Structure 1
């Protein structure tokens, strides 16, 4: 069985979005201690989706 590990910062981003879907991208990135650019890149790499999707 293959274990898939997701970056803990992306797990945090998903949790934050589930708790408050009206977060701005700036607030979300700050909550994950990432720049907006890095969060966007990691999110796409981990989920296959953009943050706008």
Structure 2
């Protein structure tokens, strides 16, 4: 779920390990395009705000 500006908060990420974040093609309007539908991120310990 995003806010009105499209910003998303994902609270359950594991520090220092690959976390897959993906967007399903059917979840976005057809007039929008994505360069990639998934990312792997590794947040640092206590890097949230």
TM over 0.5: no
Higher fraction of strand: 2
User: In which range does the TM-score fall when normalised by the shorter chain?
Assistant: under 0.3
- Taking structure 1 as the reference length, the TM-score comes to 0.19
Choose 1 or 2 for highest CA Rg: 2
Which gives a bigger RCO, structure 1 or 2 (Cα 8 Å, sep 6+)?
2
Q: TM-score, normalised by structure 2?
A: 0.19
